[in-house]
Amino acid sequence: MLEAPDGSVYLTDLEHNAVVRWNAASKKIEPVITDKRSLWPDTLSWGPNGDLYVTASHIENMPRFNNGKSTRTEPYKLWKVIGIEKSD
């Protein structure tokens, strides 16, 4: 989770390879981005220019979930999501 100055909260949505936002004003969840390449979106962070960054950790490809065999592929991804309306 990551909170924005406007009170909205950004969350990862593992089941849909997505990032969503809980809008404090409307009390609704809104999609931010969905991408099938974002496997197990994990950590969220604000960049210095207000861009949103999210890692794709591929946790579902760990050996413990794949009969003892890792199906992870490197390099792991760090996504920069531009166009987020983040107010300070």
What CA–CA distance (Å, rounded) separates 52 from 36? 18
- The pLDDT tens digits for 33-57 are 998 888 889 899 999 888 999 998 8
Fold of the domain spanning 2-81: Thrombin, subunit H (2.40.10)
Query: Sorting pLDDT into bands at 50, 70 and 90, what band is 87?
Result: very low
Dihedral, CA atoms, 13, 16, 18, 22, nearest 10 degrees?
Answer: -50
pLDDT value at position 88?
Answer: 44
Q: Could you count the other beta carbons within 10 Å of the beta carbon of residue 42?
A: 15
0.75 exceeded by the pTM? yes
Cis peptide leading into 75, omega within 30 of 0?
Answer: yes
Task: Supply angle C-alpha 18, 23, 26, rounded to 5.
Answer: 130
- The pLDDT tens digits for 12-24 are 998 999 999 998 8
Mean of the pLDDT values across residues 67-78?
86
Residue indicated by tokens 């100055």: 5
Mean of the pLDDT values across residues 53-77?
87
Where do the structural domains in the chain lie, given as residue ranges?
Answer: 2-81
